[in-house]
A and B are shown apart, each in its own frame.
Chain A
Amino acid sequence: GAVVSQHPSRVICKSGTSVKIECRSLDFQATTMFWYRQFPKQSLMLMATSNEGSKATYEQGVEKDKFLINHASLTLSTLTVTSAHPEDSSFYICSARDQQGFLGAEAFFGQGTRLTVV
């Protein structure tokens, strides 16, 4: 299957600083990308959806000023956690698909990024 590469896999940052996570589709054009947050022993919670060249659509309860998403190209999306605090510590996962719809398309997932804010 197609490959989605997510970097870094782990990051530790100090409280108050910002962290950027990259998500790249290596062998296909990702028209649509998704960012999820996964708490221990819990499900993947969708944070936002982005279509290339458009502003991201955030799920209810997700602070768009805190979690900045940029999807400027068909192969790269970034999630920046601004002014990170310990409660932002979590596992962040990106997913990419070459179409906006399900039919005829599969979403591929990155390996995830473990963010720890100290």
Chain B
Amino acid sequence: AQSVTQPDIHITVSEGASLELRCNYSYGATPYLFWYVQSPGQGLQLLLKYFSGDTLVQGIKGFEAEFKRSQSSFNLRKPSVHWSDAAEYFCAVGAAGNTDKLIFGTGTRLQVFP
């Protein structure tokens, strides 16, 4: 069965520091992979997605993620974090079927200190 693991429940970084959020997936075929951000009072917003092709994916808000098949990973990165990036981040794998659906990880809460 498909699954997603986000090993870090909570991460704290200083503003301006680099960030890497980890995501590992389990899927039998080539996965569709996603990163979403959830801010308080707002719906989940898609940061980026990987379907095929270049394994380094650029997203919105300066985020990028790299698909590494050998490690079953899809880690999210940002070179310099802003205070407004504080939020909950979810990695998800797409499960293909009659209706494609998303399987979410448990999320990583990012706290940014000034």
Contact = CB atoms under 8 A, between A and B. Distances in A.
Interface residues of A, number: 29
Interface string A29-50: 0001010100001111110010
B102 A46 contact: yes
A109 B44 contact: yes
Given A43-B106, A44-B104, A103-B51, A49 B43 contact: no
Interface in A1-53: 1, 4, 6, 9, 32, 34, 36, 41-46, 49, 51
A61 to B, nearest CB: 14
B interface majority secondary structure: loop
Contact of B100 (A9, A41, A101, A109): A101
A51 B94 CA distance: 17
B68 interface: no
A93 interface: yes
Interface of A: 1, 4, 6, 9, 32, 34, 36, 41-46, 49, 51, 57, 93, 95, 100-103, 106-112
